[in-house]
Every structure is written in C-alpha cells, then in structure tokens.
Amino acid sequence: MVDIKPDEISAILRQQLTNFNAAAELEEVGTVLQVGDGIARIYGLNNVGSGELVEFENGVKAIALNLEEDNVGVVLMGETGELQEGSKVRRTGQIASINVGEGMLGRVVNMLGEPIDGKGPLSGKLYEMPIERKAPGVIFREPVREPLQTGIKAIDAMIPIGRGQRELIIGDRQTGKTAIAIDTIINQKEFFKAGKPVYCIYVATGQKASTIASVMKTLQDNGAMEYTVIVAASASDPAPLQFYAPFAGAAIGEYFRDTGRPALIIYDDLSKQAVAYREVCLLLRRPPGREAYPGDVFYLHSRLLERAAKIIGDDAVAKNMNDLPESIRHLVKGGGSLTALPMIETQAGDVSAYIPTNVISITDGQIFLESNLFNSGIRPAINVGISVSRVGGNAQIKSMKKVAGTLKLDQALYREMEAFSKFGGDLDAATKVVLDKGARNVEILKQAQYSPYSVDKQVAIIYLGTQGLVRNVPVRRMKEFEEHFLMEMENKLPEVMAEFKKGNLPEDGLKRMVDLANSIIPQYK
Amino acid sequence: MPNVRLAARYAKSLFDLAVEKGELEKVYDDMKLIHAVCKVSKDFVTLLHSPIIPVDKKEKILGAIFKERVSPLTGQFTRLLVRKGREINFPEITTAFIEHYKEYKGIQTLTITTAFPVSADVKEGIINKVQAKIKAKELEVEEKVNPDIIGGFRLELKDYLIDATIQSILNKAKAELQNNDFVFRLR
C-alpha cells in the first residue's frame, strides 16, 4: 500500500459514517425451521412476497420461492454454514436485483453483481435493475432489421443473425459451441473501435471455473474484455446462483438495451441452468414432470429469452416501456437491442430431448453443430442443412444477401450429389460443376478459431465461390488462395471493399475484383 | 423439522374439546406446565424422541409424571398422542396450543431482550408505548437477558422486531465499513 496521510483516512471514515444509519426500524422476521441443501424453510414471514429478497442474521441473502400454508421455502444465495434452526430471517421488502453500470465492462461478476475477479469494487454510477423483469410489450418492439455480425462466414452468409434476435447454438459437447460465441464477441471489436460498440455479456452457468478463466483470458488477449461483462456461476456455486445467473445477465443486457444501445448476451449454457433449476425445485418438493424437470421449466426459458428484443426507435414511446425500473427511467432511449445466443448441449445428438425441443421452439432459429463434421475437419462444424434463422434474412446487408442468396441451396445440392458420387462411375458435366463448386465452398466456409472475418471480406470471397470463379484452384490450396486474395484485395482495391461494407455491389468493382482474382489463380496449380 | 401443520391440528382438536367441556383454563395451565417441562428437561424430550422405549412404557412414564398434576382431559390427550405415535411432536403441540389460546383470548406476547435486567419503570415505559401503538386486549411480557447484545434492547411481537441493540448497530457499521471501494482507490 502506498503512503496514506492520516487525514485522508479520517476523511474516508467520516464519509462512510455519514451514510451510516444507526436508527432501529420495525422489521418483519421469521424463524428458520430447517436448513439444508441450499434451501431453508421459514416459519413466520407472513407478509413476504414471492420472489422477495430476505436476509439472514449472518448477512446471507435468500429469495422466497415457495409460499406455503405453514412455511416459506427460500433458496439461499450463499453458504449455509452458520445458519441453524431457530435463527431469525428478516424481510427486506425488495425483490432480487443487481446493480448495473458502465463500470461492469471488463469485469467478472457473480449473479449478485459482486465482482469476483479481485480487481476491487465496481467503479462509476450503478443502477438497480431487477433480476426478474417482464419482457417489453408488443408496442415497444420493432422487427429485427440490423445485422449482428458474428464474423463467421458460414453464419453471416447462410444463417444471419439480426440485432434483437434469439439464435440457439445447439450441439454435443466438444463441437465448438463456446468457440462460436467467443468469436462473435471478438468480432464486435471492430464496432467498438468504430465508436459504435455492441456490448457483450457472457453468462457462464454451471461451467468449470477453469473454462471461465480461459474464456476471460482469450477475450483479454484479443482485446475484447473492454466491452464485455462476464457473469460467472461455476459448477461449485450453489444451484440458485447457477439458475439465476442468466437472469442477472439479462438484467445487465437490459441496462444497455433500454439506454438505446445494442447488446449481445450469450447464455452458456441453458441445459445446465435447467439442471440447476430442477435441483432446486426438487428440493423445494415441487412436483417433477418429464425428465424430472418441474412443470414451469418451459416458462423459465421462455421468459428469459423473451427479454431479448429490438426496442422501437421512437424515444417518446420507449420511455413508456412496461416495467421500467425507476433507477434508469431518466436514461431511457429508443433503438436499443438485446440479441441472445443461448446454448444447449445435447447428448449424442439427441435434439428431441425435453430441454432442446423447448428452447428450439422458443428461439428464432438454431445453429446445429455436429461432432462428425467437427471430426472430419469442417470447423466451425455447422450443419447447414438443418440450421436456420427465421428472421435474420431481413437483417443481412444488401451485398451479402445478393452474394450469398444461392449458397445455402448450392450446398444442399452438393451434399446430395456428394453422397451419390461416392458410388463412383462417370459423372455428367453438370454434376461435376456442382461437386467442384461445393467442395470449394466448403473450404471457403472453414475458418480458424479467434479469426473473425469482416463483412467485406466475406462478401468478396463468397462471391468468388458462388460464381464458380475459383474452379481452377485445387481444393487443398483454397485456404492459401483465400488468404492471398483477401490480402491483395485490401491492398489494391480498398475502395471496392468499402463499397461492399456499405452494402453495395458496384458492377465495375466486381469486375476489377474478378480480374484481380484471375491474376492470382495461376499461381495455385 | 418441526411439523407445524400436524401440531396445529392436534392443538385445535384439544382446544375445541376443552372449550366444549368448559375446561379451557385448566387445560391451558396443563399445556403451559408440559411446555415448561419440555423446555427445562432435555431428558424428557429425549425420552419422547427415543424409538427404543416401547409405547406402553412411554405411556406409563407420562402417566406417572403428569397424573397428579394435570386434568383428566389432558391425561387422555397424552395417551392418545402416544398411541398415535405422535409423542415426538408433543413440544410443538403445546406451543401450538398456547398460541391458539392466546389468539382466542386476544393476548399478545411482547419479548424484551436486554443485556442486563432492567428496572421496572423502564419496562413500564416500553410496555406503555407498545400498548399505545398496537392496542392489544392483553399484553403479556416476556423478559430475556442476553449479555451478547452489549446494550440497548430488542422488542419482538409476533412476526415483528425492533432491533435497537448495540450488537446490531455494530454489525451494521461493520458491513458499512467493509463495503467500500476507498481502499482500492488508495492502493
């Protein structure tokens, strides 16, 4: 610690003690009947409300979930250690909420909004946001129309995601679900640098603490932490913290959304959240349903994902939004958005299990990742055939929409013919063209981790692929060619790239690009 | 976990019967006695809980302890409890009965906790103030002395609590001082 003058310390103490209120107030209390497994049953607390925060003598907070005839079931947000039968529980009169502010960016917080990265308390002004909040109503929303660039060619071209959309990432373990999310966060750096940041929130629920640490390290190394908040509830945290973490993340996202800014939230992953919720509900003796999940597990996910929204651009309308917390009422602006990328881990590719089908039906599309594609070297291992985006098409920029329009169909045709061609024999010319083009497109859509492509680059290379202009490049050298070509494009035709980015496809620009490509192709034989 | 619902059922049935037979006061005194015994004698509670002691023996023991001291109705009730295998819940049932009785009579219990025994006039002052606020039909006062609270007092009434103890003020001050970012700013 550096030298501190004594008067500084006394000034601090004085400041702290001025906030201190020693007056005794009338409190409503109850008595603990039973504690254990992270839940407690309380006798008394007759006026407590559902979802209300209560506090134990040792400062541990809890949320009242079950209001029964003769007792109140609460879930503890901390350790049960010192609690015992007969200790007092106090009502707080507040619903569970989290303090949110700009100071959270670059930090790792837990579900209660407390920083857990050892960098000290959050700085700057914080606003209280309720953890459970109703989603904005119909009149406060707008259709999705702006793109959210993930920087992944396969997604931006074929399964585009718009701001305010909810796109599920689903797949077995070890298929690169988290990698897609991380790449998407890293890709937002471009917008951060341009002064139009998309704030990112990464919610880790029930993940290994080592995974969370490595995600943080990756984001730091790529300079992406500056506009990112990590909400962490690792596997060792109490189950209530785990299933409330996505809600806390959503509250942080809503702060950015309601103050007129775009935000992206990643729930990694909702199957573990459902498991934590199941645990708590079984301990509270709520009746189990299918796969022992409680009856309201669908509502658990639907109310969470419904909070992702594109808010209407009109400030006057947005200011009247339903269920706005008082703390941010004066800051509300229209035009914000919250895009959600929930994740679901399937077991052996079984998407017809309970939770996957629920979340598939709630979201606006899904990205399927498959382990056999992953193992055959197609990474990201997206199964293009069954991945869809129901609303993202409207959000694609014009140039991309034009260029990639046929890509999905081409690839579907390719896969069909590829299976057919494996029988051998002579193929007619048309089939051969499809196969050649498809194989090269597959190469184009492959992409290394942590290397997002900006949209202009994507447009340029996908144009070559879909137009069949790279048929003379051997498949195994496609990657090399792509890198070379994009570098040349950046150096020699930056003005064309700028046009692509704006959403235009100028005739002469395309011609110059094709000429450039043709001049490079002979080097790859 | 104490079985609150079960205790309330048994207590209510005994209560109603006592009212019907006009023996309410007697039974209330019995319940207070048994409640006090449960509080004072840990061995007695252990006996009730013990699964090793056979039912008929428990019945005899309870009979021997309370026969001379309680009304016949309470004696019968005790035997019923043992036969139903609910003697474990006896302490809660007495508590539930006492609560029920107080509700019936409009008696409210005020618990005053202090660090040292207080003088009568201080107590009187507190009681008068509380009585002026809540206007209970009858106010029963329970005094507790707990040196841990250091100073001040704590009032409890049903589900409500006023905590004006030095202990709680110190705890609040501690929380206030721990929850700060000044140290980090100085570093």
A54 pLDDT more than 90: yes
A450 pLDDT more than 70: yes
pLDDT tens digit string along A307-342? 999 999 999 999 999 999 999 999 999 999 999 999
Return the pLDDT at A422. 78
- Give the pLDDT band (50/70/90) at residue A70: confident
Q: What is the mean pLDDT of residues B175-181?
A: 73
Chain B residues whose CB is inside 8 A of the A103 CB are none
- Weakest-pLDDT range from A250-254, A376-380, B117-121, B178-182: B178-182
Query: How many CB pairs (< 8 A) connect A and B?
Result: 72
Q: What is the mean pLDDT of residues B120-136?
A: 86
Chain A residues whose CB is inside 8 A of the B180 CB are 12, 16, 121
Interchain CB distance below 8 Å, A28 and B169: no
| Chain B residues whose C-beta sits inside 8 Å of any chain A C-beta | 1-2, 4-5, 8, 156, 159-164, 168-169, 172-173, 175-177, 180-184, 186-187
Q: Which of B95, B103, B111, B182 to mutate to test the interface with A (most CBs of A within 10 A)?
A: B182
- Give the pLDDT band (50/70/90) at residue B181: low
B37 pLDDT more than 70: yes
Q: Three-state secondary structure along A305-329? A: HCCCCEECCCHHHHCCCCCCCHHHH
Secondary structure class of A427 (helix, strand, coil): coil
Q: Which of B5, B181, B183 comes nearest A70 by C-beta? A: B5
Task: Please indicate whether residue A41 is annotated as part of the active site.
Answer: no
Q: Largest Cα–Cα distance of chain B, in whole Å?
A: 76
Q: Three-state secondary structure along A50-68? A: CCEEEEECCCCEEEEEEEC
A428 pLDDT more than 90: no
> Mind telling me how many Å the CA of B186 is from chain A's nearest CA?
7
Closest residue in chain B to residue A119, using alpha carbons only = B184
Cα B118 from Cα B140, distance rounded (Å): 17
Chain A residues whose CB is inside 8 A of the B164 CB are 24
Tokens, residue A378: 């197609």
Cα A488 from Cα B111, distance rounded (Å): 85
Chain A residues whose CB is inside 8 A of the B184 CB are 120-121
Is residue A202 within 8 Å of residue A185, measured between CB atoms?
A: yes
Chain B residues whose CB is inside 8 A of the A12 CB are 180, 182
> Mind telling me how many Å the CA of A300 is from chain B's nearest CA?
30
- Give the pLDDT band (50/70/90) at residue B185: low
Tokens, residue B50: 């013990």
How far CA B108 is from CA of A33, A201, B100, B156, in Å, comes to 22, 52, 11, 11
> Mind telling me how many Å the CA of B58 is from chain A's nearest CA?
27
How far CA A267 is from CA of A297, A342, A363, A492, B22, in Å, comes to 16, 5, 13, 41, 66
Chain B residues whose CB is inside 8 A of the A34 CB are 1
Tokens, residue A42: 């309380």
Q: Which of A27, A37, A56 to mutate to test the interface with B (most CBs of B within 10 A)?
A: A27
Strand partners, B111: B142, B156
B184 pLDDT more than 70: no
Give the amino acid at B86.
R
Return the pLDDT at A14. 77
Is residue B94 within 8 Å of residue B137, measured between CB atoms?
A: no
pLDDT tens digit string along A369-419? 999 999 999 999 999 989 999 988 889 999 999 999 889 999 999 988 888
A290 pLDDT more than 70: yes
Q: Does the structure's ipTM exceed the value 0.85?
A: no
If one counts every other C-beta atom within 10 angstroms of the C-beta of residue B160, the result is: 13
Interchain CB distance below 8 Å, B8 and A70: yes
What is this structure's pTM? 0.89
Interchain CB distance below 8 Å, B176 and A27: no
Quick one: which of A433, A434, A498 has its CA closest to A460?
A498
Interchain CB distance below 8 Å, A26 and B162: yes
Cα A33 from Cα A39, distance rounded (Å): 11
Tokens 């009304």 belong to B71
- Give the pLDDT band (50/70/90) at residue A105: very high
Return the percentage of chain A with pLDDT > 70, whole number.
98
Tell me the H-state helices in A260-368: 270-283, 297-305, 315-318, 354-362
